[in-house]
Amino acid sequence: MDFAEKNGQWVLTPVPGAEEIIPADTIILAQGHDVNARWKKSLPGLRFQTDKTVSTDATTGQTSVPGVFAAGDMAGAGGSIHSAMISGKQAAGQVIRFLNQPA
């Protein structure tokens, strides 16, 4: 997706050919500052902070559910898109580390 000006406003616009398929067992999406209620029900054992963000390990971004990571607004790293992006990049690095651990 990209932003394009339409009728004086910026709107998200699909970019043809920019699709990418990434295999995954589970993907948790968060938009805004709260976690979608569907995810709360589908992951029993997922713990939350009093502000309704997902509780994560401060170093790894891993949640109370083993192998599930959270970042950005969903994990309390809100404030700016920049902070959320940094949080996401750090969590992605920890996911890679987790996946590369010997079984």
Q: What is the CA radius of gyration of the chain?
A: 16
Where helices occur in 1-103 by DSSP H, the ranges are 37-42, 81-99
Residue closest to 73 by CA, chosen among 57, 91, 88: 88
Mean pLDDT of the chain: 82
The torsion angle over the Cα atoms of residues 64, 27, 59 and 72, rounded to 10 degrees, is -110
Q: Scanning the structure block, which residue is given the tokens 């969590």?
A: 91
End-to-end distance of the chain based on CA atoms, in angstroms?
Answer: 37
> In this prediction, what percent of the chain has a pLDDT beyond 70?
86
**Pair 86, 61: CB distance under 8 Å:** no
Taking only the tens place, the pLDDT of each residue in 12-51 is 888 899 888 888 887 766 555 566 667 777 888 989 888 8
Q: How confident is the model at residue 100, as a pLDDT?
A: 92
Helix (H, G, I), strand (E, B) or coil at 101: coil
Q: Mind listing the domains of the chain with CATH numbers?
A: 26-99 (3.50.50.60)
List own/partner pairs for 37-43 with CB under 8 A and 24 or more apart.
43/68
Entry pTM:
0.64
pLDDT band at 87 (very low <50, low <70, confident <90, very high): confident
